[in-house]
């Protein structure tokens, strides 16, 4: 008796059929393929969730970085406001117009060609609608800059300035002003600045985006007072227009 016949008879004696030595059955193959498919689906879903989370996090980091750059620019912009007075008008009036949703000013922070030439620049910070690539309208924060004309009597010089979009998708934009009307009044916050002879002490910008995230409020302290742009009259305590 050969060794092979011996082991076959041993399996029959133990109740093990000859077919036990065959491969997987069709049912076992189907079950295995089903489990493999489920595992692949779970792995794909996990990778998709991970990639979406990565993209979302990267987008938020990019937006936060852009917001910090804009806030840094506005801080430098507003901290260097200069209280220059309009020329050629009867009354003494500072070139500063502060509204609830827009701000017109003159700054010593020069950009572009004006930075090489020196001098001051007009500035206009405001909200306007912009068309997105999908055709829907969104609000954006814009700024206009142009070289300041020392002989100007109003804000007409800003009309030809090119607007630059700072942040898109703006839900709300508010500006607050902290200061006093005169030397004896108590300083307080207001949403408009109507005093033509004084500059506010602080300017606060509050911005909220369409995605529901609030940008941290920006509070800027002005470095120059209204006396920087005029000659002080010691007898009448009046401030006249500064002459070249």
106 with 148: CB under 8 angstroms? yes
pLDDT reported for residue 11: 53
What is d(CA 109, CA 82) in angstroms, rounded to the nearest whole number?
Answer: 10
Least reliable range by pLDDT among 126-135, 186-195, 210-219, 235-244:
235-244
Coil, strand, or helix at residue 100? Answer: coil
Quick one: tokens of 135?
Answer: 């055709």
Residue with the larger pLDDT of the pair 118 and 79: 79
Domain extent listing, the chain: 80-241
What is d(CA 25, CA 15) in angstroms, rounded to the nearest whole number?
Answer: 20
Instruction: Give the residue among 86, 92, 168, 69 at the shortest CA–CA distance from 122.
Output: 86
What is d(CA 168, CA 115) in angstroms, rounded to the nearest whole number?
Answer: 27
pLDDT digits (tens, 9 = 90+) for 88-100: 777 788 889 999 9
pLDDT reported for residue 236: 44
pLDDT reported for residue 234: 47
pLDDT reported for residue 114: 47
Q: What is the mean pLDDT of residues 38-52?
A: 86
Coil, strand, or helix at residue 38? Answer: helix
Tell whether the model's pLDDT for residue 190 goes beyond 90.
Answer: yes
Confidence of residue 211 (pLDDT cuts 50, 70, 90): confident
Q: What is the mean pLDDT of residues 36-55?
A: 85
What is d(CA 112, CA 41) in angstroms, rounded to the nearest whole number?
Answer: 55
């Amino acid at each position: 008796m050969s060794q092979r016949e011996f082991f076959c008879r041993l399996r029959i004696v133990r109740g093990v059929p000859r077919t036990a030595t065959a491969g997987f059955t069709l049912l076992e193959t189907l079950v295995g393929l089903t489990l493999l498919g489920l595992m692949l689906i779970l792995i794909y879903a996990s990778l998709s969730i991970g990639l979406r989370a990565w993209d979302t996090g990267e987008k938020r980091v990019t937006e936060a970085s852009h917001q910090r750059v804009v806030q840094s620019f506005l801080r430098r912009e507003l901290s260097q406001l200069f209280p220059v007075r309009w020329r050629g008008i009867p009354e003494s009036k500072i070139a500063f117009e502060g509204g609830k949703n827009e701000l017109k000013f003159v700054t010593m922070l020069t950009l572009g060609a004006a930075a090489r030439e020196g001098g001051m620049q007009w500035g206009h910070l405001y909200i306007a609608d912009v068309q997105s690539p999908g055709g829907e309208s969104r609000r954006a924060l814009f700024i206009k800059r142009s070289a300041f004309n020392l002989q100007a009597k109003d804000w007409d010089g800003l009309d030809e300035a090119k607007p630059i979009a700072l942040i898109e998708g703006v839900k709300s934009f508010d500006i607050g002003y902290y200061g006093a009307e005169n030397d004896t009044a108590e300083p307080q916050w207001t949403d408009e600045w109507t005093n033509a002879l004084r500059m506010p002490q602080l300017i606060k910008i509050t911005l909220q985006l369409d995605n529901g995230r609030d940008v941290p409020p920006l509070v800027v302290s002005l470095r120059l007072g209204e006396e920087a742009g005029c000659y002080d009259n010691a007898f009448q305590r009046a401030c006249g227009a500064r002459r070249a």
